[in-house]
Structure 1
Amino acid sequence: MSEKNRDGKRTARERLAVERDKQKAADKRRRTLVVGASIVCVLGLAAVIGVLAANAGKESSEKAGPVVAPSGAQGKDSLAIPVGKDGAKSTLTIWEDMRCPACQAFEVAYRPTLHQLADSGKLRIEYHMVRLIDANLGGTGSLRAANAVACAQDAGKFRDYHDALYANQPKETDDAFADNAKLISLSGKVGGLDTPAFQKCVKNGTHDSWVNKAQKAFQGGGFTGTPTVLLGGKNIYQDQTMTPAKLKQMVEDANRG
């Protein structure tokens, strides 16, 4: 074998050795990144658990008041605010959080249909107000806004004020609804709502314990997110084929049946 061939083979082996070393180093970096990512995920979960624990502790340390249901509330423990006629053949049950962007998206998309069906007497809607975002992100905006819409229910202005809050919903991470003054100012968008009685109800947190009871019922029901929208016991919000038109057809079919 010539010296030139020996040198060529040696050079090739050296190149292969260098490539193997590079591959080993890359594999090591990959394993480090995977482990690092796993640690970040665990820390993220721990942070969420920490927030939940902190909020749970905060809630348990709050002074418990009497559960005051809003006027006209119905259902088990009077946790449902009804919209529409009692005799409607179809009932839509909605669990929602006034601070929840997905709830706002549902309301914006389905509101005209829900209003039409409720006003025609074909659909009865039962709203349950919860405070899921408060627990997930901290703050009290979900609680304060839920209390405020319950106060609006006392004044017979629930639906209009409920819609006004969603139309002016802050970003999920912005706890603007924690400010009672903000909630009272938005009542000016609903004729006849901004009264001393409404302001007192909002400022005093008259229905806070009622909201907390609804939150416990939500958790006890095994629901995992908002909005949870039930028609005939089925969560139609999870149906990816559901549209306002399809919902309307289902309700009209039930009325004809």
Structure 2
Amino acid sequence: MLLPDRRAPPTRDRTFPRSRPRGDTGMTKRTQVPKAGGRREQLRQQAAAAAARRRRNRILVTAVSIVVAAVLVVGVVVLVQGLRGRASEVAGVVPPNANAERSGIVVNPGVAAEGAPVFALYQDYQCPACKSFEDNFGPTVAQMAEAGEIQLEYRTMTFLDTNLRNDASFRAGVAAACADVAGHYSAYHDVVYANQPAQEGTGYSDHQLLTEFPEQAGITGDALSTFKACYRGEDTASFVRGTDAAAGGAGVTGTPTITVDGQRLELSQLSSPEQLPALVQQLAAAS
């Protein structure tokens, strides 16, 4: 009879795994070595990025160049237009009956007899003494001009604008010159003096110069349209500035001043209109 085996049961292996540092998964990490194909792709991407940057730079440079060119073109156009405008102002419109020197307007063109003396009257449309001369001696001067005894020239000055701090002398001069462009200088000239304000310095309004005076001077139809366009555009402005400058260059410092063939007529010698023809002949003979 077999007895039961009473030997101790076999001991189980209780060996525990070796402790590892925290975080260690127990897996050995293998260093990744880039493949040759990956390096080539990286270089290709870098080259593509560089090419893209170059394209962007070229586009930017081109855009800036276009903008700069456009600005330069606009600047040149503005400059040319400005130069044309200034050139137009310098040239302006010369009244058809301006004298050869453009220092005044001939009142009776083609009427004066050959060798007739030049009777030049320097005036300022705001000058009270000029109006007084026109009122007292104007009819006699006009008769002599119509008869061809003199070549009558009105030479406009504008110095009273500075003295009176307005621009009425200049605007009246421009208007009168425009009236010559329209073919009605003498009539308009007379109307301006007939309406000279009693108080010096009041001047003339644009409404008077543009609307009332031409109506009183009998300017109508196409002539009126010509006059108004000329006045609104100040087409004769350069001419009026030129007559004022020429008067100053001739040594004229006050108005009215009268010269006969360059010889000054002393107004103090005139006491009546009847004396004027003889005095003019004396000065013409002495010139």
Instruction: Give the TM-score range, shorter chain.
Output: 0.5 to 0.7
5+ residue gaps, structure 1, are 1-62
2:167 corresponds in structure 1 to 140
Residue 72 in structure 1 maps to residue 97 in structure 2: yes
2:221 aligned with 1:197, yes or no? no
Q: How many residues align?
A: 191
- Equivalent-residue separation in structure 2 for 1:246 and 1:232 (angstroms): 18
One of 210, 224, 236 as aligned partner of 2:239: 210
Whole-Å Cα distance in 2 between the matches of residues 189 and 101 of structure 1?
21
Q: Which has the higher contact order (CA 8 A, sep 6+)?
A: 1
Q: Against the structure 1 CA distance between its residues 66 and 203, is the aligned structure 2 distance closer, same or farther, given a 3 Å change threshold?
A: same
The two structures, once aligned, show a CA RMSD in angstroms of 2.3
C-alpha change, 1:255 and 1:216, in structure 2 (3 Å) is: closer
For 1:182 and 1:120, locate their aligned partners in 2 and report how far apart those are by CA, in whole Å: 32
The alignment status of 1:183 with 2:212, answered yes or no, reads: no
Q: Does structure 1 retain, via aligned residues, the 8 Å contact 2:261–2:284?
A: no
2:200 to 151, 172, 180: 172
* SS of equivalent to 1:240: helix
Q: Partner of 1:127 in structure 2?
A: 154
Q: Which residue in 2 is equivalent to 1:53?
A: none
Conserved 8 A contact 1:95-1:130: yes
- Provide closer, same or farther for how the CA distance between residues 151 and 255 of structure 1 changes in structure 2, counting only shifts above 3 A: same
Q: Post-superposition shift, 1:119?
A: 0.9
Q: One-letter code of the match for 1:83? A: V
User: Counterparts of 1:75 and 1:107 in 2: how far apart (Å)?
Assistant: 25
Q: Distance in 1 between matches of 2:248 and 2:226?
A: 32
After TM superposition, the runs of 4+ consecutive aligned structure 1 residues lying more than 4 A away are 251-256
- Structure 2 gap segments, 5+ residues each: 1-85
Match of 1:247 in 2: 276
* Counterpart in the other structure of 2:250: 221
Q: What's the TM-score once normalised by structure 1's chain length?
A: 0.68
1:229 partner amino acid: I
Which amino acid is the alignment partner of residue 99 of structure 2?
Q
Quote the Cα distance in structure 1 between the aligned partners of 2:249 and 2:273: 29
2:178 corresponds to 1:151: yes
Structure 1 residue 211, shift from structure 2 partner: 1.0
| Distance apart, 1:192 and its partner CA | 2.9
**Equivalent residues in 2 for 1:53-92 (5 A)?**
65-67=89-91, 68-76=93-101, 78-84=102-108, 85-86=111-112, 87=114, 89-92=116-119
Written as runs of structure 1 = structure 2, the 5 A alignment for 1:28-39 is none
Q: 1:99 aligns with which of 123, 126, 134?
A: 126
Shift of 1:134: 0.3
Q: Over residues 34-93 of structure 1, what are the superposed CA-to-partner deviations in whole Å (9 max), with x where a residue is unaligned?
A: xxxxxxxxxxxxxxxxxxxxxxxxxxxxx78223211121131x2221122243522211
The AA in structure 2 aligned to 1:173 is G
- What is the alpha-carbon distance in structure 1 between the residues aligned to residue 283 and residue 161 of structure 2? 37
1:152 CA displacement: 0.6
Match status 1:160 vs 2:187: yes
